[in-house]
Structure 1
Amino acid sequence: MSDDFFPIVPPGRPIWLVTLADLALLLVGFFVLLQANQRLDKEALATGLREGFGITERVADPMPVAVAAMGDFAPGSSILPQSAAAISQWARSAASDPRVRLRLSGAVDGTAADVDPETGSGTILAADRARAVAVALVAAGAVSADRLTITTDPVPGRRAVTLTIGFDGKRP
């Protein structure tokens, strides 16, 4: 091979200069972001993001404060196993602060017998159990319906409804 095979390339920029330019651009971008966030209305931004993703209602889990449960449901049934008087009294005293929310989480034990008789779904039975306790609490006047959230426990455990009192933190 001859020297003509390898052409002489004029010297270019050193690689460290390209890396330095990338770093400088990232630093400028970071300072622009900091400057833009000084006058940012965080609630408006959060509302805009929620609307952009099609979320109409803000649902945040409140900080848990106290927990109670109503257990011993019959397999495949959402009928309350005992009177709701004790759990209603607990919910009434715990939810006396208007900043407190009540979350009812229904659960099933995971066996084939503990499913909704019409659909064969354990999740529907768990939701029905939580709904039955919620109806009993609202009927007893323990808490208003707009302060209740009904969920289902995704992990099978016991045939129960867990009531969690959570502090929402917003002033009434």
Structure 2
Amino acid sequence: MTEFAHRFAATAVAAVTVTAFFPATAMSAVRSPADARSRETVSQARETASRSRETAVNLKVTEKVRHALADAYWTQYYGPNLRKHHPGTSRKKVDGPKKVYYGKVRSAGKDVYWALGSIGVKGDPISYQDGPHVWRRSAHGAWSYRGDTGGCLDKAPKALLKLWHLRSYC
């Protein structure tokens, strides 16, 4: 065999060995940067398509919903964290939520409900700052208090913020 044939045979054996034992490594050597950009573009397109299938719906806030939001705030935030600093404060002192935006986002056949509003506890001025506050609940679940925002509304879905004409200050 000629020297070229020996080198070619050795290279072929090495390529087969690498491909058999390390397929990801072998394929990364073959892939070009254009392939990576193409995969990234496809991934971004899929993400955009899934977001576009989300449907945001504005809903009217009822007193029942308002009361459930106040209960969630009291039990999940104010109650366990701050009652020891404010003895004698009861659930009756919860003020709000007021100026409530309420809606749902339907995605993949599931509804998730969201609310934004101001809330606090009478006699505790600090409890009124850093709003609006955010709540979330799945279709058949209880309300979950997600916290205050300080104006950065990233805790709420962008589809609802757009529907409500609200801007996030992050």
TM-score by length of 2: 0.30
Which protein has the bigger strand share? 2
Which is greater in Rg?
A: 1
Larger RCO (CA under 8 A, 6+ residues apart): 1
TM-score by length of 1: 0.30
